[in-house]
Amino acid sequence: MIVGVVLAAGSARRFDGTQKMLAQVPNGNGERPMPLVRLAVLGLCEAGLDHVVVLGREAEAVRACVADLGSSFVVNADFASGMSTSLRAGVEYALEHWRTADGLLVALGDQPVSGTGIVEVLVDHFRSEQGVKPLIVAPRYRGELGNPVLFDRTLAPELLAVTGDRGARSVVERDPARVRHVDFDRTPPRDVDTPDDVTALSADLRFL
């Protein structure tokens, strides 16, 4: 069983003082726009993953955007101290509530992959019986390491040890021998940090 951990608790300091997770973006299939966080969570729903969404700033408003998607939630009251606090909150919740999970897929709420099939491919590689079972499955987009990343449960202590305003990349980079890279011939999913990024993402999604 693989469980998704969606990090959606950030302070969004560069987003004109508003919560970027609530920003409206096209969903790529011609229907009405939806909040950015909903598009991110849909990427895990499409792959059939149980998941927990880590909330922080404007937690209840963000929760309401995905409340109908079968999500679980955990609130990170310490979100302002950096991304690692949200990573720890999400991993701790997943380990406690899905005790049979053997994999944790860490995804970013501001980097949606809905409609791309990326999560499904990562899961397939994690489940593959060919060769040595990977401890980490990470995407590379035209050679560039990106997100989301799938970790074997045995690496949970390392994820819980991350500190500061960092996510799980340090765990990925610690030992290249335990990483199975999956190559995608496409640009990385767009990272949304500013209102201009929302405009660019919206343009991208209109052509999906």
In this predicted structure, what is the pLDDT of residue 24? 86
In this predicted structure, what is the pLDDT of residue 73? 96
Rounded CA gap, 3 and 150, in Å?
9
Are the C-beta atoms of 71 and 37 separated by less than 8 Å? no
Rounded CA gap, 35 and 113, in Å?
14
Are the C-beta atoms of 33 and 136 separated by less than 8 Å? no
In this predicted structure, what is the pLDDT of residue 30? 55
Task: Name residues whose C-beta falls within 8 Å of residue 77's C-beta, 6 or more positions apart in sequence.
Answer: 56
Are the C-beta atoms of 53 and 6 separated by less than 8 Å? yes
Rounded to the nearest 5°, which phi and psi values hold at 76? -100, 100
Architecture of domain 2-203: Alpha-Beta Complex (3.90)
Q: What is the full DSSP assignment across 10-76?
A: ---TTSTTS-GGG-EE--SSSS--EEHHHHHHHHHHHTT-EEEEEEBTBHHHHHHHHGGGT-EEEE-
- Chain center to CA of 134: 19
Rounded CA gap, 20 and 146, in Å?
20
**What is the pTM for the complete model shown?**
0.89
In this predicted structure, what is the pLDDT of residue 13? 63
In this predicted structure, what is the pLDDT of residue 125? 92
- Could you report the average pLDDT of every consecutive run of 10 residues in the chain (208 residues)? 92 68 74 85 94 93 93 93 92 95 94 89 87 88 93 96 87 92 90 75 60
Rounded to the nearest 5°, which phi and psi values hold at 159? -65, -40
Place of tokens 């970013």: 108
In this predicted structure, what is the pLDDT of residue 208? 45
